[in-house]
Structure 1
Amino acid sequence: MGYESWSKEDLIARLTLLDAEKEPPRVATASSPPNPRRLWRTFNFSSYPRRKIALKFCYSGWAYNGLAIQADPTPLPTVEGVIFDALAKARLIDPDAGLEGCGWERCGRTDRGVSAGGQVISLWVRSALNNASPAEEPRPPEKSVSSPEESADSEDAFPGDFGSLDDMDFPAPTKAPIKSEHSYTLILNRILPPTIRILAWSPAAPGFSSRFNCKSRHYKYFFAPDNLDIRLMSEAASLLVGLHDFRNFCKLDPAKQLTTYLRRIMSAEISPVAGSASGMHVLDLKGSAFLYHQVRHIMAILFLVGSGLEPPSVVTALLNVAPGAEGDANLPVVDTRPEYQMADALPLMLYECHFGPGDVEWQVEEEDDADGLSPLGAGLYHQLHSLHARAEMYAALDHEFLRVASVHHAPPPARLPLNVTGFVPDGRTAMNVPLGGAEFRRTAKYIPLLERNRGEHFEVVNERWRVGKGARRDERRKAVDDEGDE
C-alpha cells in the first residue's frame, strides 16, 4: 500500500489502528479503580442541582492583572480567571458554559495592582442539596469580559500546590435529601493560591446580584504621611462628602457612554493606621458607587493639597461643573478635567461591600481538627497571619538596608510640604510631588490645577467613540447575528 499521497492526519489514524490491533484486549476487573479522567469527561453537570451563592474573598492585587477576566492574554493572571479555574477544577461550575453559564457577577471592579479585603461575586454552583433550584436560569452579567485597557496582568492559574480534588467522590443525585451542603470555602481554598482566599460564602436568592444589591462600598488608601500636612488633607477630604458631580475626579470611559457623573460619598476620613510602627495613614472612603479610577484621582488631589501645592478649596472648585453647582456663584466653572496624574494603584484596597438586611448570611467552614480545640475559621486566619508576619520580616530587612545606607548617603533635604519648610518653587529646583505607593513625580515648575490644560467634555468623547469603535463593534455583532440566522 502506498502512503505517499496520505495526509498527516490519515497516517496518524492508520498507525493508531495498527497499534490497537497489536495490543491484547484488556479485561476489566471488579477491583480496577475508575479512571479519573474518564469520570471527568463523562461528568454531567445537568444531572446535579444548582443553587445561587455569594462568595466573599480577599486578594493581593500586585500579583494579578486586575479582577476581571480579559478577552486577550494578559502578562499576569486575573483574579476572576484564577477563581473560575478553581471552581471548574472542583466541578462546581461547568467550564464550557463560561461566565454567562453560571450567571457570574462582581460587586466592584478593581484594576491592575488594586487589592481587596472584601470583594464579592455571585453565581450559580453545583449543590449537594436536593431542594436546590436546578430549573433557575442564570441571568447573564452585564459585562463578562473586559477590554485589556480597562484592567491589568497573568501567570499560572495555580502557582501553589494546595492539594487535588481528583479523588473526591461526587455521587449522583439521589431522591433521599442530603442535609449538608458542599464546604465551598474549604474546597476552593485548597486549590487557590495563597494570594486569593475565600473568606465566606452565603446562600443567595435566585434574583440576587452582587453588583446591583450592593448598597455601598468602602475603599481604603494607605500612605506615608512624610512631608504631608494631614490637617489640610482632612479638610479637603471632608469637602467630598455628599452628592456631587465627580467628572473631574475620574477617567472617562466612553465605552460605558455615561451621561451623568453624580455619585454620593457618605464619609471621607484620614486617620493613622492602628498598630503601624512607621506611622502609616489611611483614607477611608465610603460611597454608594464609584466611577472609573475615582479613588485614585481623589488621592492625587489630596496629595497636592497635603504637599501645599493646592489649597483645600480646589476640591470644591473641581466639583463646580456648572454655574452655582456647589452653591457659590464666585467659584470658577470647571466642566472638564484639568490634566493631572492619578495616584498609584498599590496602596488601594476595596475593603468591604455592604448589602441590605437579608441579602447575605455569611457562612464559613473549617478543617476537622483532631483535638477539636481549633475555633471556627482558625485555619484561614493562621494562613493570613503567616503572610502578614512574613511581610513584616521583609519590611524589617528593608529598614536595616536603609539604616546602613544612611551611614554613607545622607537623606536629601525635604522639599515638601511647602507651607511648612518655606520652600518656594523657583523653576530650577526639582520637587518630588507624591503619587502614593512611594512613587513621586519630579518637577521644577508647578502649574496650579485650575490653570492647566483641560480635557474634552464627556459628550465629545462619547460621540467620538460612538461613531468610531462603537459603530465598528455594532457592525461585528450584526455580522455574527446575521450568520446565526442563516
Structure 2
Amino acid sequence: MSSPQYETWPREELIARLRHLDATLASVDSHSRIVLPRRAEARRPRKFDISSYPRRKIALKFCYSGWEYNGLVFQSDKTRRPTVEGTLYNALSECKLIDGAAGPQACGWERCGRTDVGVSSASQVISLWVRSNIGQGETPSHIEGATKSSVDVVENVQKITDSDFPAPDPDSELPQLDASEIETAPPAPVLADDGQKQELRYVTIINRVLPPSIRILAWSPVSTSFSSRFSCLHRHYKYFFSPNGLDLDAMRDAAARLVGEHDFRNLCKLDAAKQITNFRRRIIRTNIRPASILGDDVVTSNQPHMCVLDLVGTAFLYNQVRHIMAILFLVGAGLEPPSVVTALLNADPERPEPPFREGEAPPELVTCKPEYQIADPLPLVLWECSYDEKDVKWQTDADGSENGGDAEVYTLYNQLSAIHARSLIHSTLDATFLKAASNFHPPPHNPFPIHPSSRDEYLRENSSMTLNVPLGGGMTHRAAARTYIPLLRRNRFAHVDIVNERWRKGKGERRAARRAEKLDADDE
C-alpha cells in the first residue's frame, strides 16, 4: 500500500488526519510496547596481559633508510619526523611483544650504536626482552663479564608517544603498507608437527606493522647477559662518494694513517653533556675502493660511478666518521696533504704521534680542533655490527618448505628489490636531465684535484675562482680561492677540558639542581 500524498492535501484534511491518528494511538494499551531489534553491541576487545606470557631475550637485526627519520635514538622532545627507535618500539608494542606503556627500560632495550639524522644502517642490532611461546629456552653462551645493564637508554622515557609512530609520508618514494594488514591481536601459538610449540615468527610479525623504510632482517636468541652494545666486537661503516675530481691515492694515504689506536678528539663532535675525557679509539681497517651503483660490487672501470670508504673499528665517537670523511675530501681535492691526518691525531702531548713513514717530519701538535665543516650524512651507512658466533645465531622465519623458506621472507626481499629498482630509475632520470642540461649549460671547470705542492701558488694565481669543496652526498662548501685557509692555520675550538668544565658549571649544575628538587618533591 502506497503512502498518501500528504503534500497535496488541504490544510483542513491534514488536521483531521492528525486528530484521527492521535485517537488511534490513545486506544492502544499503555502496557503494550513495540519491540525494536536490538543493535548489536560492539565486541569489547579482550584485555591482553603480557605478564601472563613467557618472555625471552633476543637480538633483532634490521635495516632502515635514515633520510626518512629524525635519527635512530628515542627523543624525549617532539621531533619533525619520527625516530627509528620510536617507530620500532611502537611496532613491538602494537604486536603485543612488549608492554609499550612501561617504557624502553622495562624491556631492557639496548642498541649497538647510535646513528644521527640522515644516516642509514644495513645491519643495526638491538637486544631486548620480548613475549615468547617457549620462554628463554636454550641460548648461546655469553661473553664473560658482559653484565652491564641497558645504560644507554634515554633517561625519563616513560612512554613513546604517537608522534613517534609515522603516518604514511606523502613525499616518500617508498611504498606504503595498507593499515588493514596490521594485526593488533597476539597470534595463536604455532605448533610443530610433533605438537611442540614453535617460537613466534618475529621477523614476519614485526615487519607487517613496520613501514617499508624499516625492515627486520633476522633475530637471534641470546643469553640474559648479552648486550647488543657491549658484546659487539667491531662496527663497520661505509661512506659512498663520487670520485670526480678527487685524488683517490692521496685519500688512501690519508685513510691509512687512521689505522691503530689514536686520539680522535680533533675528528669528532664534542658533546659536553657526556663529559668524555678519553678520546682514544681503535681503527682496525680502512679501505677506499670503487663501488658499483648496482650493488656493493667492485668494478674494474677506470672511472667508477661511485667509490666507498670502508671503516672498521671497535667503537666510534660522536660524528667521527663524518669528520674523517670531511678531511679525506680536503685531501682528495688537493687542498690538504695526507699528513694533515697525522697532525690531527697528534692531540695528546703525553702520547705524541710519530711520523707516519720514514722521511716525514714530526707531525704538528694539535691539541684543539680546527674549524671545518663535516661531511653530509646521507651517504653514511652502518654496514655491520659483528659479534662472536657463539653469542648470536641469526635466523629468519623460514620453515624449510619446497621453495626454500617462508613466503614472508620472499616478500621482504621483493619489497627491498622494488625500492632498489625505483631508486635506479630515479638515478637514470637524473642522469638524463643532467645530459639534457649540458646541451645548454656546459659543465664548469673543476680545479680539483690540485697538486698539494703547488696549492698556495695555484690559489694565488686563481684568486677570483670560487671553490666548491666537496662534502659528500652531492653537497659542497663554497669558498673563494683567495680566502682559503689551510686547515692547521684556522681558528681552533676551546680545549676539551675547558668545554667540559664550562658545561659542568653551567648546564650541568642547573640539571643537577632540577633533579635534586624533583627528588625532594617525590620524598614529600
Into which bin does the TM-score normalised by the smaller protein fall? 0.7 to 0.9
Question: 1:227-306 alignment to 2 at 5 Å?
Answer: 227-274=245-292, 279-306=305-332
CA contact (8 A) 1:347 1:437 kept: yes
For structure 1, list consecutive stretches of 5 or more residues without a partner in the other structure: 1-22, 148-153
Tell me what 1:71 maps to: 76
Amino acid at match of 1:428: S
Amino acid at match of 2:354: G
Question: 1:147-296 alignment to 2 at 5 Å?
Answer: 157-159=166-168, 160-162=176-178, 163-166=181-184, 168-170=186-188, 178-274=196-292, 279-296=305-322
Deviation at 1:178, TM superposition (A): 5.0
CA contact (8 A) 1:130 1:178 kept: no
Equivalent-residue separation in structure 2 for 1:155 and 1:90 (angstroms): 16
Amino acid at match of 2:182: S
Tell me what 1:341 maps to: 373
Deviation at 1:428, TM superposition (A): 2.3
Question: 1:130-141 alignment to 2 at 5 Å?
Answer: 130=135, 141=150
Distance 1:211 1:168, change over 3 A: closer
Any idea what the Cα deviations from partners look like across 1:375-422, whole Å, max 9, x if unmatched? 453332221111101100011111111111111111111121112998
Percentage identity across aligned positions? 52
Equivalent-residue separation in structure 2 for 1:24 and 1:178 (angstroms): 50
Distance 1:433 1:186, change over 3 A: same
Tell me what 1:151 maps to: none
Any idea what the Cα deviations from partners look like across 1:199-227, whole Å, max 9, x if unmatched? 00000111111001111000000000000
Deviation at 1:97, TM superposition (A): 0.5
3-state secondary structure, aligned to 1:144: coil
CA contact (8 A) 1:366 1:379 kept: no
Residue 102 of structure 1 pairs with residue 107 of structure 2: yes
Tell me what 1:145 maps to: 154
Residue 405 of structure 1 pairs with residue 437 of structure 2: yes
Based on CA coordinates, which of the two structures has the bigger radius of gyration? 2
Deviation at 1:430, TM superposition (A): 0.7
Deviation at 1:26, TM superposition (A): 7.2
Any idea what the Cα deviations from partners look like across 1:56-108, whole Å, max 9, x if unmatched? 00000000000001010101110001101100100000011010111100001
Tell me what 1:352 maps to: 384
Amino acid at match of 1:395: S
Amino acid at match of 2:473: G
Equivalent-residue separation in structure 1 for 2:155 and 2:454 (angstroms): 47
Amino acid at match of 2:459: P
CA contact (8 A) 1:75 1:155 kept: no
Amino acid at match of 1:300: A
Tell me what 1:442 maps to: 478
Distance 1:131 1:105, change over 3 A: closer
Match of 1:321 among 344, 347, 370: 347
Amino acid at match of 1:326: E
Amino acid at match of 2:215: R
Equivalent-residue separation in structure 1 for 2:459 and 2:259 (angstroms): 32
Question: 1:374-413 alignment to 2 at 5 Å?
Answer: 374-375=404-405, 377-413=409-445
CA contact (8 A) 1:52 1:203 kept: yes
CA contact (8 A) 2:177 2:212 kept: no
Equivalent-residue separation in structure 2 for 1:167 and 1:46 (angstroms): 15
Equivalent-residue separation in structure 2 for 1:245 and 1:238 (angstroms): 15
Equivalent-residue separation in structure 2 for 1:144 and 1:343 (angstroms): 27
Amino acid at match of 1:142: V
3-state secondary structure, aligned to 1:101: helix
CA contact (8 A) 1:218 1:284 kept: yes
Amino acid at match of 2:50: F
Amino acid at match of 1:389: A
Any idea what the Cα deviations from partners look like across 1:446-471, whole Å, max 9, x if unmatched? 10111011111111111111111111
When normalised by structure 2's length, the TM-score is 0.79
Amino acid at match of 1:466: R
Tell me what 1:425 maps to: 459
Amino acid at match of 2:177: D
Question: 1:48-87 alignment to 2 at 5 Å?
Answer: 48-87=53-92
Question: 1:29-44 alignment to 2 at 5 Å?
Answer: 34-35=43-44, 38-39=45-46, 42-44=47-49
Equivalent-residue separation in structure 2 for 1:103 and 1:476 (angstroms): 26
For structure 2, list consecutive stretches of 5 or more residues without a partner in the other structure: 1-34, 139-146, 157-162, 169-175, 356-360
Amino acid at match of 2:393: E
Amino acid at match of 2:243: P
Equivalent-residue separation in structure 2 for 1:275 and 1:435 (angstroms): 19
CA contact (8 A) 1:85 1:157 kept: no
Deviation at 1:322, TM superposition (A): 3.2
When normalised by structure 1's length, the TM-score is 0.85
3-state secondary structure, aligned to 1:214: coil
CA contact (8 A) 1:415 1:421 kept: no
CA contact (8 A) 2:263 2:279 kept: yes
Any idea what the Cα deviations from partners look like across 1:337-371, whole Å, max 9, x if unmatched? 000000000000000001123111101014898xx
Deviation at 1:285, TM superposition (A): 0.0
Between stretches 274-283 and 299-308, larger displacement belongs to 274-283
Distance 1:130 1:289, change over 3 A: closer
Amino acid at match of 2:264: F
- How many pairs are equivalent? 442
Distance 1:243 1:482, change over 3 A: same
